[in-house]
Amino acid sequence: MVTAALAEIATHPAAGAALDIEQVSHAFDIDGTELPVLSDVSISVEPGEFVALLGPSGCGKSTLLRLVAGLDKPRAGRLREDESRIRSPHPSRVVVFQDPTLFPWRSVWDNVALGLEAQGILKSQRHRVDAALDLVGLSSFRKAYPHQLSGGMAQRVALARALVNDPKILILDEPLGKLDSLTRITMQAELVSLWQRKGFTTLLVTHDAEEALVLANRVIVFSDRPARVKADIRVDRPYPRHRGDPYLADLRRQILGLLGLDATW
């Protein structure tokens, strides 16, 4: 699958959008006190880039993704997709949330079809739903309801629900967090292959430095809350990458150091 996808890159030009996060700061009011969450974050993402965001828990990664999606407005700063300001959600930027949040009243197939249905193009595009389900290996569960799925399967449905929309920017908030390590590795390979084939820009939040290094061209490390960009690391390695690659191992040590985990290494 991955090698087949590699062969296809040349024939498919990048379909991703550029993303500019310019001096964005954000805060929440909790019982009248202000909780700063993002502090002057600037990231400029090229079209088709795969950027991994790493940072301590609760530092503000999900908050940043919500701003990119257009679900919330930043207190300060600007976000742009291909030169146009991000003011509201748009299906060109699709989010896979940290919780799968499948609609319990819809079958798996209907959940995946959600985006196409909302945009009013489901009738002519039903095959895309089938293809997305195939991709995550859940074709045989098309009729199941979410409460009949395992946590990992629900995550995969959520992934399919996002991919079916052919996004320009795919926003992933720990989408593989709940998968077992085997499925996880498979899904990582699928993700890379898909990204290479479709060329969308990818923003991936993860807790796992190794995952970030296997998948992304660029790893951004955040500080503790309020999140600031602590390091912006290029990962110049061809795909498919190997976990044992000494170059990656070196980067990993560096990243864990930035996250304050020197002692374990």
Partner 1 sequence: MSTYSLSDGLASGAPRTSRVPLLATWLRESGAGVLASVAWIAFGLSCLWWADVGDWSRTHSLGIAAFVIAAIALFGTVGVDYLGAAGQALHKRAPWLVALGAFLTVWEVATAKFAWLPLPFFPPPQAIIEVYTDDLPKLLDSVFASVKLQLGGYLIGATVGFLTGVSIGWSRAVGYWVHPVLRFIGPLPATAWLPIAFFTFPSSWSASTFLIALATGFPVTVLTWSGVASVSNAYYDVARTLGARPSFLVLKVAIPAALPHVFVGLFMGLGSSFAVLVVAEMIGVKAGLGWYLQWAQGWAAYANMYAALIVMSLLCSGAITLLFSIRDRLLVWQKGTVKW
Contact between 71 and partner 1 by CB under 8 A: the answer reads yes
Contact between 62 and Mg ion by CB under 5 A: the answer reads yes
Q: Which two tokens stand for residue 24?
A: 């964005």
Residue selected from 42, 62, 139, 254 as contacting ligand ATP according to rule CB under 6 A: 62
User: From Mg ion, partner 1, ligand ATP, none, which one binds at residue 37 (CB under 5 to 8 Å depending on kind)?
Assistant: ligand ATP
Contact between 60 and ligand ATP by CB under 6 A: the answer reads yes
3-state secondary structure at position 121: coil
Tell me how far apart the alpha carbons of residues 140 and 34 are, in angstroms, rounded to a whole number.
48
How many CB atoms neighbour CB 225 within 10 A? 18
Least separation, in Å, of the C-beta of 189 and ligand ATP?
A: 24
Q: Are 52 and 80 in contact (CB under 8 A)?
A: no
Continuous segment of H or E residues that includes residue 252: helix 246-258
Contact between 142 and partner 1 by CB under 8 A: the answer reads no
For residue 99, give the DSSP letter.
Answer: S
Tell me how far apart the alpha carbons of residues 202 and 215 are, in angstroms, rounded to a whole number.
10
Q: Is 147 exposed, middle or buried (0-12, 13-18, 19+ CB in 10 A)?
A: exposed
Beta strands at 229-234 and 218-222: parallel, antiparallel or unpaired: antiparallel
Q: Mark residues 176-195: x for contact with partner 1 by CB under 8 A, - for none.
A: --------------------
- Contacts with ligand ATP in 80-119 (CB under 6 A)? 98
- Contacts with partner 1 in 104-133 (CB under 8 A)? 104-107, 114-115, 117-119
Tell me how far apart the alpha carbons of residues 242 and 214 are, in angstroms, rounded to a whole number.
7
* Length of the chain measured in residues: 265
Least separation, in Å, of the C-beta of 59 and Mg ion?
A: 9
Contact between 101 and Mg ion by CB under 5 A: the answer reads no
Least separation, in Å, of the C-beta of 93 and partner 1?
A: 7
For residue 148, give the DSSP letter.
Answer: G
By CB under 8 A, which span of 144-152, 195-203, 224-232, 234-242 interacts with partner 1? 144-152
User: From partner 1, Mg ion, ligand ATP, none, which one binds at residue 247 (CB under 5 to 8 Å depending on kind)?
Assistant: none
Residue selected from 24, 37, 96, 112 as contacting ligand ATP according to rule CB under 6 A: 37
Contact between 84 and partner 1 by CB under 8 A: the answer reads no
The footprint of ligand ATP (CB under 6 A) covers 28, 30, 35, 37, 55, 57-63, 98, 225
